[in-house]
Amino acid sequence: MQSEHSSTARFALAFGTLGIVFGDIGTSPIYAFRESFEVSDLEVTQANAYGVASVVFWSLLIVISAKYLTLVMRADNHGEGGILALTALVMPHRGAPPTRTTAAIISLGVFGTALLYGDGLITPAISVLSAVEGFEVATTAFADFVIPVSIAILVALFAVQSRGTAGISRVFSPIMVVWFTVLGVLGARQIVEHPEVLQAASPSYGVELFIDHPVKAFLALGSVFLVVTGGEALYADMGHFGRIPITWSWYGLVLPCLLSIYFGQAALLGNGDGALGNPFYDMAPSWGVAPLAVLATCATVIASQALISGAFSLTAQAVQLDYFPRLAIRHTSPHHVGQVYVPLVNWLLMVGCISLILIFQSSSNLAAAYGIAVTTTMLITTLIFYRVVRDRWEWSAPKALVILIPFMIVDIGFLSANIPKIPAGGWLPLLVGFVLVAQMTTWRRGRALVNERLRASFRPLDAVLADVKSNSLPRVPGTAVYLFRDHGNAPPALAANVRHHRVLHQQVMLVSVSVSDEPHVGVRKRSHHINLADGVVHVLIRFGYLDEPDVPHVLRAMEIPHFEFDVDEVTYFLGRESVKAGNRPGMSPAREELFVLLHRGAASAARFYHLPAEQVVEVGAQVEL
């Protein structure tokens, strides 16, 4: 009975994956096959069409089925996936300095994370634009409306993000079921008419393509990669659904339908008049082009939603791991902690997507900018995964290399084929990645320097409490909560109260908040306390990097013997640093100025930790870098 229930639940999850996980990879048939010929100037012949189909077939099997579903997705961080979660697996325990190799691996993970923002910027633009271009196939009169309609769809999409995905996700999966079914039917019609296209499953056709047209086939490989761009999404969304439901959906519906549509396009081009046209829409009967364009637009909106939601989740993880300043992050579902909305990221993505459409004007032009970010991220994933299997799974070096080198060769091949795209637009996601890496590393380094400068002026807590006792300072009624991480030292705000106001609250709670490398921390493990002195306790609160850092909620659930307090009546004392650039060693002047700018824009600790504004007192301190 338990097994039956488990299977039913997994089936429901598998159905849910169709609307979230497979949106990106499911919309690639609209443009990937066409771009493989267009960007490489390959002649449209049966041999070339079958050769491209063969490369597509083996790319899906090797990259998605073998690499991600069979191997990488087994490397979960307490159920969560994605390159940032994978990077967390190789991070040293808190307090332990990383080795040079580990530091390099972590830097690669940060760079891969930054590149995913470039992917999140381009995917909505190219997906929506390519779908709307389908109306142009139905009637040339629509040509002047492609860009305005695409922009209108994107504006509407970003405008509803604040409502969260819970309400609209129910319609996503049914639409994607229809979408994949239509893909399968369109491809099957062509395969039935030209069954010889199935021979393209043999790798010999792909090999012959590279032998006959080495340069053009290499260039085409950069566009063939578009068929597997959703691989990272599979891994990143694993925490929402689990590996098994995603695997069921992949083999049960997604992979067969994708192979059908790609082989169908190969059959259409291989038995056509030699003109490229738009093979995806050309597969549909004349009466079906407009409905197909409508369905494709819905599918691409869903694909875009998945990437946008991924960017929000990625931002929340980066903030928790202290790679981004504190930002306003809203949780949009009381039941699903991973459903978040980040206003700043939302509007920046919207402006970026619209700008890309206005600059590039067509999906073909945008395709030149697409791929380089994801290929680089996939290679980085493989490199970090090697470290995970060596350290965590205790594989021997020969075993790890034998299994992973073939994937590295494929990743390097795809990356190399995308390098020629850099001058034509591939520089854009790389620029976004480098800018974000500079910001993320500057913020993390700057935070470390600020903590170092502040720590130099800290007084031991025992010394401050001794002053209170020796000077018989009064203990005023109430409970003071000081948020402070440095165990053993007195929070500057507490020291200031004693020094200037000559008082101490009757009850003092020193609260240290830390973020675990784990995505979630259970309620029982989230907090514990240590009695330090009469009326003074140290409370340690630990959140997972995907948990909502609600300090009052945790304190409300705590029970401390002989320490009675009302969370609604306590006073929170926070330190607020005013940072300015200086001449001290640590960072270059340019990075110091960047950190000062980022620090000014960071959300306050009070909002980040959900502290009631009317119960917060901030004590300032000036820090020179």
Give the per-residue pLDDT at 5: 40
pLDDT single digits (tens) 523-574: 778 898 998 888 899 999 998 877 788 999 999 988 888 888 999 999 999 8
Work out the pLDDT band at 465, boundaries 50, 70, 90.
confident
Contacts of 128 (CB under 8 A, 6+ apart): 150, 153, 154, 157, 297, 300, 301, 304
CATH architecture classification, 20-315+343-447: Up-down Bundle (1.20)
Lowest mean pLDDT among 3-17, 181-195, 457-471, 510-524: 3-17
> Cα–Cα distance between 352 and 354 in angstroms, integer?
6
Distances (CA, A) of 218 to 60, 147, 337, 428: 17, 31, 43, 22
Tens-place pLDDT, residues 126-158: 888 887 887 777 666 677 788 999 999 999 888
Q: What is the pTM of this model?
A: 0.80
pLDDT higher than 50, residue 4: no
The DSSP result for 154-167, as a single string, is HHHHHHTGGG-STT
pLDDT, one tens digit per residue, over 46-104 is 999 999 999 999 999 999 999 999 999 998 877 778 888 888 888 776 556 667 788 88
pLDDT tier for residue 185 given thresholds of 50, 70 and 90: very high
Highest mean pLDDT among 103-107, 236-240, 463-467: 463-467
Cβ–Cβ < 8 Å for 231, 67: yes
Per-residue exposure over 526-561, b if at least 16 CB sit within 10 Å of its own CB, e if not: bbebeebeebbbbbbbbbbbbbbbbbbebbeebeee
What mean pLDDT comes out for the span 301-319?
A: 79
Kindly state the tokens that stand for 601.
């824009």
CA dihedral of residues 54, 55, 57, 62 (deg, nearest 10): 140
pLDDT tier at 2, thresholds 50, 70, 90? very low
Q: What is the pLDDT of residues 320-345, one digit of tens each?
A: 778 888 887 777 665 555 567 889 89
If you average pLDDT over every residue of the chain, what do you get?
A: 86
Q: Where are the domains of the chain?
A: 20-315+343-447, 459-624
236 versus 541: which is more confidently predicted?
A: 541
Q: Is the model more confident about 52 or about 120?
A: 52
Among 29-38, 130-139, 592-601, the range with the most confident prediction by mean pLDDT is: 29-38
The owner of tokens 């038995």 is 271
Residue 215 has pLDDT above 90, yes or no: yes
Judge whether residue 165 has pLDDT over 70: no
pLDDT grade for 166, boundaries at 50, 70 and 90: low
User: What would the mean pLDDT of 253-259 be, rounded to a whole number?
Assistant: 97
Main-chain phi, psi angles of 576, to 5 degrees: -130, 110
> Average of pLDDT values for 486-502?
85
pLDDT for residue 486: 79
Q: What is the mean pLDDT of residues 425-453?
A: 86
Q: How far apart are the first and last CA of the chain?
A: 63
Share of the chain above pLDDT 90, in %: 34
pLDDT at position 555: 92
The confidence score (pLDDT) of residue 305 equals: 75
Q: Please check the confidence at residue 622 and state whether its pLDDT lies above 80.
A: no
